[in-house]
Amino acid sequence: MAIKNLQLAAKTVIDGFMSGVNKSTVKGPGMEFNQYRSYQPGDDLRSLDWKMFARSDRYYIRESEVETSISVRFLVDASASMNHEDNGYKKSTYASYLTASLAYLANFQGDATGLYVLQNGGLFSLVPRQSMQHLNRLFYQLENLHPSGKFTEAVNYKAVFAGSGKRELLV
C-alpha cells in the first residue's frame, strides 16, 4: 500500500460526507450573524445593535457564530494483536485507513492533527499541526506501521493526556 493510495482512500471516503467547517456554540465577534438577544446588565456595550434600538426602543445584543478550530490527536495501537486478519485485511490496515480518513477530514476543515502510536511498550508521537506537509508525514507514519510486541503499559499514557487542552479531541 503506497502513501498515494492511503491519501486517495482518505480523500475518497471523506469527499462524500463533507459539508462544512466546525460549527461553534461559542458566540462572539464573528462575521456570520446568528441571532439577537435581549440586553442583560453586564453585556459588552460594543455588541449593542443601535439600529435595532432605533427601530424598537429596546436594547438588543447582536450575536455571531465564531468558527473555531481544534486539535485532533489520533491514538493507534500497533501491538502484535493488530496483525489479526479478517477477510484478508489486518486490523492495523483498518486502523490506518480510518485514521487517515479522519485526519484528512480534520485537515480539510483547518484543524491540527497529531498521531500517537502505542507499540513495544513505548509511545511514538507526532505533535498536532495543520498543514498538508504534516498530513503527509502522518500518512507516512501510518503507512510504515509494523505491528509487533505487546501493548504499551498504562504508565506511558500520561504523555498522551498531558498536553490535552480545551479545544482538543483524542480519537
Give yes or no: residues 12 and 32 share one domain.
Answer: no
Which own/partner contact pairs does 27-32 have at CB distance under 8 Å and 24+ positions apart? Answer: 27/63, 27/64, 27/65, 27/66, 28/64, 28/66, 29/64, 29/66, 30/64, 30/65, 30/66, 30/67, 31/64, 32/64, 32/65, 32/67
Q: Please state, for a pLDDT cut of 90, what percent of the chain lies above it.
A: 20
- Predicted confidence at residue 110, as pLDDT, reads 86
| Residue 46 burial (CB count, 10 A) | 8
Give yes or no: residues 55 and 106 share one domain.
Answer: no
Q: Which residue has the higher pLDDT, 10 or 124?
A: 124
- Predicted confidence at residue 16, as pLDDT, reads 45
Give yes or no: residues 116 and 162 share one domain.
Answer: yes
Q: Of 68, 57, 38, nearest to 47 (Cα)?
A: 38
Give yes or no: residues 122 and 144 share one domain.
Answer: yes
Give yes or no: residues 13 and 88 share one domain.
Answer: yes
Give yes or no: residues 147 and 101 share one domain.
Answer: yes
Taking the C-alpha atoms of residue 129 and residue 125, their distance in angstroms, rounded to an integer, is: 12
- pLDDT band of 153, cuts 50, 70, 90: confident
- Predicted confidence at residue 6, as pLDDT, reads 60
Give yes or no: residues 149 and 165 share one domain.
Answer: yes
* The most confident of 5-9, 127-131, 163-167, by mean pLDDT: 127-131
Number of structural domains in the chain: 2
Alpha helices in the chain (DSSP H): 3-15, 50-56, 91-108, 132-143, 158-162
- Which residue bears the cell 500500500? 1
Give yes or no: residues 86 and 36 share one domain.
Answer: no
pLDDT tops 80 at residue 34: no
Give yes or no: residues 44 and 91 share one domain.
Answer: no
For 36-94, the pLDDT digits (tens) are 889 988 888 888 888 988 999 999 988 877 666 788 899 998 888 898 888 888 999 99
Give yes or no: residues 129 and 53 share one domain.
Answer: no
Give yes or no: residues 78 and 130 share one domain.
Answer: yes
Average pLDDT of the segment spanning 138-150: 90
Q: Which domain holds residue 60?
A: 27-65
- Which residue bears the cell 486502523? 95
116, 145 contact by CB (below 8 A)? no
Give yes or no: residues 37 and 120 share one domain.
Answer: no
pLDDT tops 60 at residue 160: yes
